[in-house]
Structure 1
Amino acid sequence: MSASAITPVLQGCVAALASVACLFFLSFWRSTRDRFFVFFAASFGIEALNRLHMGFTAQSGEDGPINYGIRLLTYVLILVAIWEKNRPKR
């Protein structure tokens, strides 16, 4: 099997694991109602959709500017969640 044939399979695996992480954080959000977990769930959900899209399209490389932009968005969501959790309470 060539490397180009296995790439969609690996993208699907990463998408599945990101979906599991999204559901994991959503379950914590349901029990605590803490926005921290919503940000993390959204980040992993967006990443799962991005990986799924990369696996089904012909352009499955990670080096496209749109893929970098989406990954930047997910990392910013995680940083906002951490910042919001650690800022002083009023």
Structure 2
Amino acid sequence: MLDQFLSGAIVMGFAVAALLFLSYWRRTGQSLFLTFSASFFLLAVNYTWLALTNIPVEERSPLFLIRLLAFSLIIVAIVQSNTKRGR
């Protein structure tokens, strides 16, 4: 029961971060914030999926792929943001 509660708190944190970055994107129009918002939304979906299902540890490969996609998006957004500033 405690695991599900903590997973819900983690999902809520990711969802709030996604909404905050979405509001920053609306204010500034920078694609960095939109990408961060999408990444945190993917992480929220990932942890929601993990909390609602009892997938054994050995079969969690799709969950790791979602996390990989989210973190890859963050890295690409940061690199693109830094290369745009240099020009």
Q: What range is the shorter-chain TM-score in? A: 0.7 to 0.9
Is residue 2:79 matched to residue 1:83? Answer: yes
Q: Say which of 33, 40, 65 aligns to 2:36.
A: 40
TM-score (norm 2): 0.88
Give the distance between the partners of 2:28 and 2:56, measured in 1 at CA: 37
Q: Say which of 5, 30, 43 aligns to 1:9.
A: 5
Query: Post-superposition, which runs of at least 4 consecutive aligned residues in structure 1 deviate over 3 A?
Result: none
Calculate percent identity across the aligned residue pairs: 35
TM-score (norm 1): 0.85
Unaligned runs of 5+ in 1: none
Secondary structure of the residue aligned to 1:58 is coil
| Greater alpha carbon shift after TM alignment, 6-15 vs 43-52 | 6-15
Give the superposed CA RMSD.
Answer: 1.8
Q: How many residues align?
A: 85
